[in-house]
């Protein structure tokens, strides 16, 4: 199975790194990327084929559109003829199937692209990704199996029945790693404010996250119960959690995810309109 990523940025790099660790061969993976320095990096790090925009599209079974949403209309329109009849996966946040179909001229005589929308996340790089996926109307059952194999090679996958659910997945697991990194950054900052050097702050904060996540994954208790087990009545944790509640930390996380979802819809409206 030969796969071409169009766009070799952060998300393509994460998926490629994970796929290579999971047994995909470097010679079946290719990237089309305009930035020469990135192409060189991808070749050096992964040994995959890295191609400039004016190179012919490498022979492939699957194309993964991995450019920014703002670049997608131009890329899809320019490559509509090359992509006709192929299995095409879009990982762009927000961008709707109807717009992709229009840009890819899915009414073209040599057969429509078989489209699948996917929302991966960057922990794919360490094969701990979580992806959402939705099968477009022209995609076949064997396309679903191929996409499932790619996504499972870098983590787990949730298939959704309705396209709009992908925006909800974007708000939770697509953007979610950034929320977690923000929390880690904040705990490092708190440790440094307590007088620890950066390396010790990192050890304390990263170690706490790793331990807590491993405990949560291994435990029969839910997260609320595990939280209660740390929180002694009238103790230090209660003092911290009360302060966080006063400052609205949980409400801020929920509202943040809602803002991400709203932005996905807004991006689709902005970029799908008049294009």
Ligand X SMILES: NC(=O)C1=CN([C@@H]2O[C@H](COP(=O)(O)OP(=O)(O)OC[C@H]3O[C@@H](n4cnc5c(N)ncnc54)[C@H](O)[C@@H]3O)[C@@H](O)[C@H]2O)C=CC1
Binding site membership for NADP(+): which residues?
A: 6-11, 66-69
For residue 65, the minimal CB distance to ligand A1CAB (Å) is: 13
Q: Is residue 155 a contact point for ligand X (CB under 6 A)?
A: no
Q: Is residue 106 a contact point for ligand A1CAB (CB under 6 A)?
A: no
Pairing status of strand 129-135 against strand 114-119: antiparallel
Among 70, 68, 88, CA closest to 80: 88
d(CA 201, CA 206): 8
Count of residues that bind ligand X according to CB under 6 A: 27
* Binding region for ligand X (CB under 6 A) out of 30-38, 152-160, 203-211, 254-262: 30-38
Residues 31, 50 contacting (CB under 8 angstroms): yes
Count of residues that bind ligand A1CAB according to CB under 6 A: 4
For residue 135, the minimal CB distance to ligand X (Å) is: 18
Which of ligand X, ligand A1CAB, none sits in contact with 169, Cβ below 5 to 8 A by type? none
For residue 271, the minimal CB distance to ligand X (Å) is: 10
Q: Is residue 129 a contact point for ligand A1CAB (CB under 6 A)?
A: no
Token reading at 56: 């012919």
Token reading at 7: 């766009």
For residue 92, the minimal CB distance to ligand A1CAB (Å) is: 8
* Binding region for ligand X (CB under 6 A) out of 8-16, 191-199, 215-223, 254-262: 8-16
Among 36, 52, 53, 245, binds ligand X (CB under 6 A): 53
Query: Computed from CA positions of residues 187, 189, 193, 195, in that sequence, does the dihedral angle turn out positive or negative?
Result: positive
x/- letters, 174..213, toward ligand A1CAB (CB under 6 A): xx--------------------------------------
Token reading at 236: 């230090």
């Amino acid at each position: 199975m030969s796969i071409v990523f169009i766009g070799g940025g952060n998300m393509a790099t994460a998926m490629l790194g994970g796929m290579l660790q999971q047994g995909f061969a470097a010679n079946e993976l290719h990237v089309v990327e305009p930035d020469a320095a990135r192409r060189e990096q991808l070749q050096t790090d992964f040994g995959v084929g890295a191609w400039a925009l004016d190179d012919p599209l490498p022979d492939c079974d699957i194309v993964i559109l991995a450019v920014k949403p703002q670049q997608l209309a131009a890329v899809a329109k320019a490559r509509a003829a090359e992509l006709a009849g192929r299995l095409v996966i879009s990982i762009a946040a927000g961008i709707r199937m109807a717009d992709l179909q229009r840009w890819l001229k899915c009414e073209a005589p040599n057969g429509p692209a078989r489209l699948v929308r996917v929302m991966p996340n960057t922990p794919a790089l360490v094969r701990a990704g979580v992806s959402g996926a939705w099968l477009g109307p022209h995609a076949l059952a064997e396309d679903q199996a191929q996409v499932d194999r790619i996504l499972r090679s870098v983590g787990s996958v949730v298939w959704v029945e309705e396209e709009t659910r992908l925006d909800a997945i974007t708000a939770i697991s697509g953007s979610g790693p950034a929320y977690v990194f923000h929390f880690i950054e904040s705990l490092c900052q708190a440790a440094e404010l307590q007088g620890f050097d950066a390396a010790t702050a990192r050890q304390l904060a990263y170690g706490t996250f790793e331990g807590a996540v491993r405990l949560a994954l291994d435990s029969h208790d839910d997260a609320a119960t595990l939280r209660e087990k740390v929180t002694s009545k009238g103790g230090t944790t209660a003092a911290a959690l009360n302060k966080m509640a006063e400052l609205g930390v949980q409400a801020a996380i929920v509202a943040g995810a809602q803002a991400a979802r709203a932005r996905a819809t807004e991006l689709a409206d902005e970029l799908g309109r008049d294009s």
